Amino acid sequence: MATSGMVSPTSGRPYSPMRSSVLTTTGSAIKLEHVSEKFAGLWTDLEQEKQARRIAEATRMQLFQESVLRLEKSMEAEVKRRAESDKQLQAHFEGELRVLHERSACQVAEMHNSLKSAIDSFSSRVQDLHAVIREERDQRRNDIEHLATSLVGKVNECVAALDEERTIRMQEQAMALKRFGEDISGVNHRVDTEKAQREADLSGLRVEIHDVLANRNIQDEQFKVKLGHVWFDGGTSAWAMQCQQTLDSLWCRK
C-alpha cells in the first residue's frame, strides 16, 4: 500500500500521520492525569493550609478577646482610681481655696483700712497745701505789685536819663559836625591854593622847556649848516661822514 511521501520536520524521515495522532492523544492523557494529580495535591494542601489558618486565627482571636477583657478590667479600675483621686484633689483644692479666700479677705480688709487712713491723711495734707498755696499766691501778688511800682519808677528814670543823654549826644554831634565842616572848608581852601600854585609853576616850567627846545632847534640848524659847508668844501673825510650819521640818529630820536 503506497503511502504519501510526508517527511518529519524534526528528523527528516517519512512518518505516518495516524500514528502520530495516536501518540499525541496518549501523551495528552498522561499529561492531563498528571496535572489532575497535581491539582488534587494542591487542593489538599490548600485545604490543610486553610484549616491551619482558621485554627491560628481562632486562637489569635481568643487571645485578643482575653487581652481586651483584661484591658477593660484594668481601664475600669483606673477609671475608679482616677475618680477617687479627682474627688480627693477637688476636696483639697476647695479647702485651699477656702483658706485662700479667707486670707485674702483679711488682707483686703486690712489694706482697705490702711488705704482709707492714708487717703484721709492725704486729703488733710492737700487742704493744708491749698491753704499754703493760697497764702503764697496772695503774697506773690503783693510782691509783684510792689515790684511793678518800683520798676515803673526806675523805667521812668531810665527813660529820662536816656532822653538827657540823647540830647547831650546830639549837641556833641552837631558841634563835631560843625568843626568837621570848618576843617573840610579849610582843607578845600588849602587844596585850591596849592593847586593854583602848582598850575602856575607848571606853566612857567612849560615856557622854560619850550624856550630850551627852541634854542636847541636853532643850534641844531646852525650846526647842520656848518656841517653842510664843510661837506661841500671837499669834506670827504671819515669824520664828516660820522658827524652826519650822528646828527641823523639824533634827529630820528627826536
Cα 1 from chain centroid? Answer: 121
Tell me the pLDDT tens digit for each residue of 144-178. Answer: 888 888 888 888 888 888 888 888 988 888 888 88
Q: Is the pLDDT of residue 3 over 50?
A: no
What gap in Å lies between CA 11 and CA 205, rounded to an integer? 168
Please state, rounded to an integer, the average pLDDT across all residues of the chain: 77
Which has more pLDDT, 32 or 131? 131
Q: What is the pLDDT of residues 39-74, one digit of tens each?
A: 777 788 888 888 888 888 888 888 888 888 888 888
List the grid coordinates of 120. Answer: 484721709
Main-chain phi, psi angles of 84, to 5 degrees: -65, -40
Strand partners for 14: 7
Q: Which three cell numbers stand for residue 127?
A: 487742704
pLDDT in tens, 4-23: 444 444 445 444 444 444 44
The H or E element that residue 47 is part of is helix 17-232
